A = this chain, B = another copy of it.
Amino acid sequence: MTTKLEQLKARLAEIHNLHGAIAVLGWDQQTNMPPAGTRARAEQLATLSGIAHEMLISKETGDLLAAAEDEGADLDYDGEDAALLRMARRDYDLATKVPTDLVTEFRRTTAQAHEVWANARAQNDYPSFAPWLEKIVKLNIQIAEHLGYEDRIYDALLDQYEPGMKTAQVGAIFDDLKGELVPLVREVLARAERVDDAVLHGDFDVARQRAFGEEVIRAFGYDFERGRQDQAVHPFTTSFSRDDVRITTRFDPHWLSPALFGTLHESGHAMYEQGVAEGLEGNILQDGASLGVHESQSRLWENIVGRSRGFWKHYFPRLQELFPDQLGGVDLESFYRAINKVSPSLIRVEADELTYNLHIMLRFELENALLEGDLSVDGAPATWNDKMEELLGIRPPDDAQGILQDVHWSGGSIGYFPTYSLGNLLSARLYEKAVADVRDIPAQIEAGEFGGLLGWMRENVHRHGRKYMPAELIERATGEPLQARSYMNYLRAKYGEIYEL
């Protein structure tokens, strides 16, 4: 006789395996698939996703879940079984609350909207995309009504990406940040000429770029025995199990930064997935806690480690060895300043550490205004441009470089953007706490050793996988709720020094 919990686990494991297969198909599509394979791949993915969704929302799953919850009422809160029941309940409710018709309409709309958006951006033609954005906003509102919320429509949407996080919390954190960040950015930009990043541009042999990136992330602790690196147009990390976590990178032969910092970034995501406790393998807890927590790991290794002076004290000589003609005559300090140059950019994905969060705040404000009817879809481009000017001091010359720049809305994702900023803030707080606990982490990094930092993350973040909601994980790891102070301290110290404020 198997228990209901065991039966539930077996069923969820099957759904999990389907998602693993979906991830393999997605990885292949972006790394290897000949373009002609697109049509059949879309069919395969649709079939697998459909089956996984049907299995999750089925009466059988619902009944098993309810019975397993009864059975497991006395389980230890911190145990894996209790956590599994909590997360299974969350997944099941999220998947069943929205009627299938609405899910279907949402999918159909966003599938078409994606192409409309791509054309609109290419043609700088916002009006052609506007009716689709209008529809996507409306569908998101309907979805939010089904999911339910107490305070703001946005709460229900944000919760899909950052479980449990509320709009009011994000708003409060962003207000804190904004009050200090905007003046700091202004001060730095007034001294923009103090930093030159020309040394990052030149001819950089791709094989050597790759060798360096792999050497670094191997030292970080990314396990190539349980992963691999491939090339993709839009770099990403994907995981088929904790023992098969793959990263992708894109190389620019004339610019060092994209592949280098991209690889460090993806390795952070990947080490998180590789670090989930072995006991969570093969079931729904094997994931990360949220997009925000995931982003904290990628930004940690990309920025807090990868753009630090200590890290380059160790690695710059090695990079110079690989690129003697390009970097042999550059001193460490110039290189450190170059990789931390601040310059206000119209495009979020090109933004530096300091200005990045301003891009997110803009979207957060716009998304809320659109959902609550305070802003019309037609009026959105002008508001976008005004806010860019207010926050960053620059105005997009056209909508392609303004409101049309990101793919997210066309894919239906409203409520996603804040996770990027939450990840940034959390990366600084986690690092601060790790150093408080393990004092010689900075010295280790200067020696090219990362075991102290990775070990702390493994213990306090990675191994828990998706056992806890993000807020609980963060409180357990840092002793307090997420706040903006640590990140602001980090930015002020770092950029204050670089720009001699």
Binding site for B on A (CB under 8 A): 13-14, 17-18, 20-21, 24-25, 27-28, 32-37, 39-41, 43-44, 46-48, 50-51, 224-228, 230, 240-241, 243-244, 281-282
Which among A39, A240, A282 has the highest number of chain B CB atoms within 10 Å? A240
Q: Are B225 and A48 in contact (CB under 8 A)?
A: no
In the complex, which residues of chain B have a beta carbon less than 8 angstroms from the beta carbon of A17? 40, 43-44, 46-48
B240 and A40 form a contact (CB under 8 A)? yes
A225 contact set on B, CB distance < 8 A: 34-36
Looking at chain A's contact residues, is the secondary structure mostly helix, strand, loop, or mixed? helix
Q: Among B24, B28, B39, B243, point to the contact of A44 (Cβ < 8 A).
A: B24
In contact, B244 and A41 (Cβ under 8 angstroms):
yes
Question: What is the bound-complex CA distance between A244 and B28, given in angstroms?
Answer: 12
Query: Is the Cβ of B36 less than 8 Å from the Cβ of A226?
Result: yes
Which one of B21, B40, B48 lies within 8 Å of A243 (CB-CB)?
A: B40
Instruction: Determine which of B32, B39, B240 lies in contact with A241 in the assembled complex, contact meaning CB atoms within 8 Å.
Output: B39
Partner of A227, one of B24, B34, B40, B244: B34
Q: List 13 A-B contacts (CB under 8 A).
A: A13-B47, A17-B46, A18-B51, A21-B48, A24-B24, A24-B25, A24-B44, A32-B228, A33-B244, A34-B227, A40-B240, A40-B244, A40-B282
List, in ascending order, chain B residues with CB within 8 A of A35's CB. 225
- A27 cross-chain contacts in B, Cβ below 8 A: 28
Q: Which 7 A-B pairs have the closest CB atoms?
A: A40-B241, A37-B244, A17-B47, A36-B243, A36-B226, A17-B44, A20-B44
Nearest B residue to A224 via CB reads B34
From A14, A224, A225, name the one whose CB has the most chain B CB atoms within 10 angstroms. A14
